[in-house]
Amino acid sequence: MKHIANYISVSRIIMSLLIIGTETFSVPFFIIYSYCGLSDMVDGFFARKYNAESKLGEKIDSLADIVFVLAAMVKIIPSLNLPKEILIWIIVIATIKFFGIMYGFICYKKIMFLHTMANKITGFALFITPFLIVNISSVIVYSSLCALSTFAAVDECYHIIKGKQKFL
> In whole angstroms, what is the distance from residue 130 CA to residue 3 CA?
31
Integer Cα distance of 90 and 7 in angstroms: 31
Task: From 105, 92, 114, select the one nearest 166 (Cα to Cα).
Answer: 114
- Which distant-in-sequence residues (6+ apart) come within 8 Å of 34 by Cβ? none
Q: What is the pLDDT along the chain (168 residues), one digit of tens a residue?
A: 778 999 999 999 999 999 999 999 999 999 999 999 999 989 989 998 999 899 899 889 989 998 998 999 899 988 888 899 999 999 999 999 999 989 989 998 887 778 889 998 998 998 999 998 877 778 888 999 999 999 999 999 999 988 865 544
Question: Pick from 64, 85, 86, 59: which is nearest to 19 by CA?
Answer: 64
pTM across the whole model = 0.80
Say if residue 103 is exposed, middle or buried (CB neighbours under 10 Å; 0-12, 13-18, 19+): middle
Domain boundaries, the chain: 1-79, 81-168
Ramachandran bin of 25, using left for φ above 0, alpha for ψ from -120 to 50, beta for the remaining angles: left
Asked if 114 contacts 148 with a C-beta cutoff of 8 angstroms, the reply is: no
DSSP letter (8 states) at residue 1: -
Please give the backbone phi and psi of residue 112, each rounded to the nearest 5 degrees, phi first. Answer: -115, 125
